[in-house]
Amino acid sequence: MSSNTHHLRNGTAKTTQPRKAITLETMNQHLRKADYAVRGRLAIRAEELREKLKEQNHNLPFVEVVNANIGNPQAMDQRPITFFRQVLALVQYPDLLESEAATTIFPADARERASVLLREIGSVGAYSQSQGVPYIRQSIADFIAQRDGFAADPNDIYLAGGASSAVTSLMTTICNGPQTAVMIPVPQYPLYSASLTIENATAVPYLLDESTCWGTDTAYIASVIRQTIASGVNLKAIVVINPCNPTGSCLTASEIKDIISLAAEHCFMVIADEVYQTNIYEGEFFSFKRMLRELQRDFPGKYDSVELASLHSTSKGMVGECGQRGGYMELIGVDPEVREELYKLVSISLCPVVTGQVLTELMVNPPKEGDESYPLYKQEYDTIYTRLRERALTLFEAFKEMEGVTCQQPKGAMYLFPTITLPPNAIKEAQRRNEEPDEFYCMQLLESTGVCVVPGSGFGQKDGTFHFRTTFLAPGKEYVDRMLQFHKEFLKKFS
Amino acid sequence: MSSNTHHLRNGTAKTTQPRKAITLETMNQHLRKADYAVRGRLAIRAEELREKLKEQNHNLPFVEVVNANIGNPQAMDQRPITFFRQVLALVQYPDLLESEAATTIFPADARERASVLLREIGSVGAYSQSQGVPYIRQSIADFIAQRDGFAADPNDIYLAGGASSAVTSLMTTICNGPQTAVMIPVPQYPLYSASLTIENATAVPYLLDESTCWGTDTAYIASVIRQTIASGVNLKAIVVINPCNPTGSCLTASEIKDIISLAAEHCFMVIADEVYQTNIYEGEFFSFKRMLRELQRDFPGKYDSVELASLHSTSKGMVGECGQRGGYMELIGVDPEVREELYKLVSISLCPVVTGQVLTELMVNPPKEGDESYPLYKQEYDTIYTRLRERALTLFEAFKEMEGVTCQQPKGAMYLFPTITLPPNAIKEAQRRNEEPDEFYCMQLLESTGVCVVPGSGFGQKDGTFHFRTTFLAPGKEYVDRMLQFHKEFLKKFS
C-alpha cells in the first residue's frame, strides 16, 4: 500500500510493514510447524505451470500438467458410477420423482432408492443428526457385517465429510498435549503427522519394511513401543494405513492380528485407515474390525478392551468421488464418555454434508444382481478396476526400466512409491538450493515434464533413502515416457 | 461386556471397567471443557421424545416435537429454491444436459448455468483447489463488489464446508495458547466459545446491551479492551455476529464503524459473522467490509492495516440449505504469510464439498430479472422472506402476552431471545436439581409441550438474568399456544 512506502532521499524505497495482529510470530505455532506435502510447493508450482500453458508462447517443454501428486481420479478420465449420480440428482431435485419425463431417464431402482432416502432424510438441505442419518448408519452397519461376518452397530458409526475430517476429529479428541504419543508409519500419508503437530502431540514413527513390500515387522514395532513407553510419554494410539498410502502395500491377516495384540497388551487405540479397502490388485483385504472380532472369538476376554477406529471414504475405491466429501468412521470399544465428547466436537460443526452421506449409503449398498441398474453398475465398476490395475502395472513396468529406480509390486491403493538412487552431484546441488534431494528431483521432473509427484520426504522415509509417490490414475503412456526420458537426462546431467 | 461383570456373593453385580487408552481423564482436556448447548442435553432429550411419540401408548401430553433449538428451516416446512436444486441435479448427473426429455423438465437458464459450472469445475466428484473453485471465487467477489460498492478480490475468498468450518479454521490459525485473547459477544452463538476453549485460547466476553435492542456500547467495549490489554494477554480478535445469533438484533453503520475503529486503534482482527445478512426484517444490513472500505476511503491511511474476516453461508437467508454445507470467508488485510499457513491448514482437509461450492455460486448469482427462472425464483424467495417475517412477529406478539417475559423487536436472523423472570421457587428447584434456572425452565417446557428451545445460559447472559433462544421457523401457532399454556402453569406451580 502506497502509504506504507517511504521514498528515501537516495531514491530507494523502503517498505514498512503495517502493524498486524496476526503474524507468523503470533499465530498458532503448532500449525506453523505442520507439513503437508501433498498440496505443498510442488502442487502450487504445478498450478502455475498449468496457467502458463494457457499462454500462447509459453515455451514450456510439455503441453499438459499431470497431477500425479493426488489421488483425484475424476480430475483424470474416471467417470462417476451412473447409479450413484442418478440417485444424487434425484435427491437434489425430488420433483423429478413426480415427473413423467423423468421416468424415461431414471431407472426404477434409482427412483426407488431416492424415494427411500428422501423419506428417511427429509431434505438433503436440512441438517442431519451430527453423527449422520440413522438409516444411513444402519446401511453402513449392514455392509460391515456382511464384509466381516461379524455384527456391526449403527451407533458405532460416525459419518464425516471425508475420512480426513473424521481423522481430524479423532485426533482432536484423543490428543492431550505433548504427553500424548501416537505411532505413525513411515512413510505415511501426511494428514497424520500434520494433525498430530497441530494438536501438539508427539508422533512416534515406526518404519515400514521396504524389503518385505512395505510390511510391518512385529518384533521391531514391539521394540518401538517399549522405547516409547520407557521414554515416559503416554502411548495412546497407533495409525495403520491399509492398503497403504503411499506405498501401495497390503497387510496380511497375521500382520494385522499382531498389531491388535500389541494394542491389547500395551493398551493403545488402533486407528485403521482403510479408505483403499477395495483398491486391491493382488491378495486380499483384511479389515481390522474382522481381525479383532476373530481374536475376540478365539481368545475370549483377552481382546475385549481393544479400542479401534476404522475409516472408510467415498473418495477412493471405484467410487472416486473426492469432491463429494463422503466417509465414515466406526468406533469399537471406545469409552462411552469419550464418545460423548467426540459427539460434542462433531456437533459443533453441525453435520457432515448430507449428499456425501447419501453417496456413502450408495457405496455400501450398491445395486445387487437382479436389479435394473446392476449390469451397468457392474460394467462401470469392473472397467474402473481393470483400468486402475492396468495403469498400476504399466507404471510399475516402466520403473523397472529406470536406472537406479526400484519399486515394489503394486498390491493396493492408488500409488507407487519407488526408491530412487540419486547421484552425489544431484544431492550436492539440492543441498546448495536448500532443498531435500528428492524434492529437488521432483521439482526438476515437474519443470521438465509437467508431471507432478510428491517427494518421499513429504511422507517420511528411512534416512539416506529417496523416493517419490505417484498415482497411477493418469491415462496414456506418454507421460510415463516423458518421465523415463527426464530420468535418463537427470542422471546424465548429475553423474 | 459380561466378562467384566462379577456377581458378588450378596447377589449384587459389580462392573469393573476394562482398561482403556482413551478416557475422560486422558483425552483432550480442552475439548472436555468446551460447551455447545445447541445440540446438547435438551436436543438429545428432544430426539428421545420424538422416538417415544412413535410408540402407541406414549402418554406424552403432545403429539409432535418442535425443534425450535436450531435454525434448520428445511427440517420444518421450508422448501428449497427450485433453480438452485435444478442446477445441483444437473451438475450431479450431467447426462441430463444431453437428454431430450430433460429439456422439458429443466429451464434453459438452469441448463446453461450447469454447463458453465461443469466446464469450470470438471466433475463435482473431483477435489477442487483447497481454497475453492477459482470461477466460484470470482462470482463471490463480484457479488461482494455489488453488495458493497467496493471491489473484491477472488484471492481473498476461501470457500468452506459451512461457515462453522471456516470459523474453526480461522480460530486454529490465530490462536496460540492461553495468551491469545479473543473478544466474543454475550450472548453469542456457542461455536465461538467452544472453538476458543478447544484451542485453549482466552475468550473475553463483552456484553450486548439488551436495553438498546442488544446493541453494542462503544465506550463499554473500549473499556473491556483496555482491561483485557492491561491484564497482559494478547488481544488478537473480536467476534461480531450481525445480524445477531441469538438475539435477532442488527447493528447500525456507526456501531460497526466504531468497532472497526477500535480494531484499528488497538490492532486486533475483526471476525464478522454475517451469515444472516439477508435475514433482515427491520432496518438495513451494513457489511463490515463496506464500512471498512468507507473508513479507508474517508480517512486515508488510518484504517489500512485492519484485518477483517467476513463469513457467509448457504445455510441461512432464504437459501436455508443447511445440509449442503456451503459457505465462504473473505479475508481482508491479513498478512500473506499467515494466509499461507491458513491455506496449508485447509488443504489438509483437501477441499470443501464441491456441490456446496456450487450452491454458494448460485446463492451469490441467482437468476436475474429477464431470466427464464427469475419469476419463480422471485416468488419463492419472497414467500420464504414474508413467511419468516410473519412467524417472527407472531411469536413476538405471543411473548408479549406472557407474564414476566420481555422480548426485543425482531430485526434480523432467525431467532428471538426473550428475557424470562423466574419465580424464586423455580430457581430453588433448579438449584436442587443442579441445573441452571433457565435450563430447568426449558427442560420443563420440552417435557410438557414438545417444544425444544435453548436456555440463555448456553449463549451466555448477564448474571442474574434468564433467557431462552427460539427459532421462529416452525409453522402454525399451535406450538406457540402450548408454550403460553405451559408458561402460565409453570408460574402458577412455582409462585
Question: What integer pLDDT is reported at residue A37 of this predicted model?
Answer: 76
Mutate to test the interface with A, among B47, B123, B245 (most CBs of A within 10 A): B123
- In this complex, the residue of A124, A164, A304 whose CB is nearest that of residue B324 is A124
The answer to whether A181 touches A236, Cβ cutoff 8 Å, is: yes
In 10 A of CB A116, how many CB atoms?
13
Q: Scan for cell 402454525, then name that residue.
A: B476
Residue of A nearest to B305 (CA): A18
In the prediction, which pLDDT does A120 show? 96
> What distance in Å separates residue A403's CA from the closest CA in chain B?
34
Residue A13 has a pLDDT of 46
Q: What is the mean pLDDT of residues B77-94?
A: 97
CA A281/CA A277 separation, integer angstroms = 11
Helix (H), strand (E) at residue A309:
strand A308-313
Say yes or no to pLDDT of B198 above 60.
yes
Q: What is the DSSP letter of A465?
A: -
**What domains lie within chain B, and their CATH numbers?**
29-75+383-494 (3.90.1150.10), 88-124 (no CATH), 127-364 (3.40.640.10)
Average pLDDT, stretch B348-356?
Answer: 95
Among B444, B423, B448, smallest CA distance to B433 is for B444
**Mind listing the pLDDT tens digit for each residue in B217-272?**
999 999 999 999 999 999 999 999 999 999 999 999 999 999 999 999 999 999 99
Phi, psi of B236 (to 5 degrees): -110, -20
Nearest CA in chain A to B326: A353
Q: Which sign does the torsion angle of CA B347, B353, B354, B357 carry?
A: negative
Handedness of CA A417, A420, A426, A428 (dihedral sign): positive
Checking if the pLDDT of B5 tops 70, the result is no
Chain A neighbors of B172, CB-CB under 8 A: 28, 31, 198
pLDDT at A132: 97
Q: Residue B127 above 70 pLDDT?
A: yes
Nearest to B126 among A74, A173, A349 (CB): A74
Task: Please list, in sequence order, all residues whose beta carbon lies within 8 angstroms of the beta carbon of residue A381, skipping any fewer than 6 positions away.
Answer: A81, A318, A366
**pLDDT (0 to 100) of residue A16:** 56
Please check whether residue B43 is in contact with residue B283, taking contact to mean a CB–CB distance below 8 angstroms.
Answer: no
Indicate the pLDDT class of residue B9, thresholds 50, 70 and 90.
very low
Across the interface, do A102 and B101 touch by the CB < 8 Å criterion? yes
Q: Is the pLDDT of residue B458 over 80?
A: yes
Q: How high is the pLDDT of residue B101?
A: 86
Q: What does the pLDDT read at residue A17?
A: 59
Nearest-5° Cα angle at B203, B229 to B276: 115
Which of B34, B236, B353 shows the shortest C-beta gap to A323? B353
In angstroms, the Cα distances linking A225 to A182, A453, A462, B430 are 10, 33, 18, 50
pLDDT top residue among A219 and B56: A219
The per-residue pLDDT string of chain A (495 residues; one tens digit each, 9 = 90 and over) reads 333 444 444 444 445 556 899 999 999 999 999 988 777 789 889 989 999 999 989 999 999 999 999 999 999 999 999 999 999 999 999 999 999 888 899 999 999 999 999 999 999 999 999 999 999 999 999 999 999 999 999 999 999 999 999 999 999 999 999 999 999 999 999 999 999 999 999 999 999 999 999 999 999 999 999 999 999 999 999 999 999 999 999 999 999 999 999 999 999 999 999 999 999 999 999 999 999 999 999 999 999 999 999 999 999 999 999 999 999 999 999 999 999 999 999 999 999 999 999 999 999 999 999 999 999 999 999 999 999 999 999 999 999 999 999 999 999 999 999 999 999 999 999 999 999 999 999 999 999 999 999 999 999 999 999 999 999 999 988 999 999 999 999 999 998
The pLDDT, as a whole number, for residue B210 is: 94
DSSP secondary-structure letter at B43? H
Q: What value of ipTM does the predicted structure carry?
A: 0.94
pLDDT value, residue B233: 97
**Between A and B, how many CB-CB pairs are < 8 A?**
314
Q: Which of A187-201, B5-19, B235-249, B378-392 has the lowest mean pLDDT?
A: B5-19
Determine, for residues A89 and B86 on separate chains, whether the beta-carbon distance falls below 8 Å.
no
Residue B121 pLDDT = 96
| Residue that has been written with the C-alpha cell 498435549 in this structure | A177
Give the rounded percent of residues in chain B with a pLDDT score beyond 90. 91
State whether residue A336 is helix, strand or coil. Answer: helix
pLDDT at A341: 96
pLDDT at A3: 38
Q: In this predicted model, what pLDDT tens digit does every residue of B29-55 receive, in sequence order?
A: 999 999 887 777 898 899 899 999 999
With CB atoms and an 8 Å threshold, state whether A93 touches B74.
no
Which chain A residues have a beta carbon less than 8 Å from that of B38? Answer: 347
pLDDT greater than 60 at residue B108: yes
Bin A183: left if φ > 0, else alpha if -120 < ψ < 50, else beta: beta
Of A1, A324, A350, the CB nearest to B164: A350
Q: What is the pLDDT of residue B41?
A: 85
Other CB atoms within a 10 A radius of the CB of residue B51 amount to 11
- Predicted confidence band of residue B17 (pLDDT cuts 50, 70, 90): low
User: Does B375 score more than 60 pLDDT?
Assistant: yes
DSSP B441: H
- Report residue B154's pLDDT band, with 50, 70 and 90 as the boundaries: very high
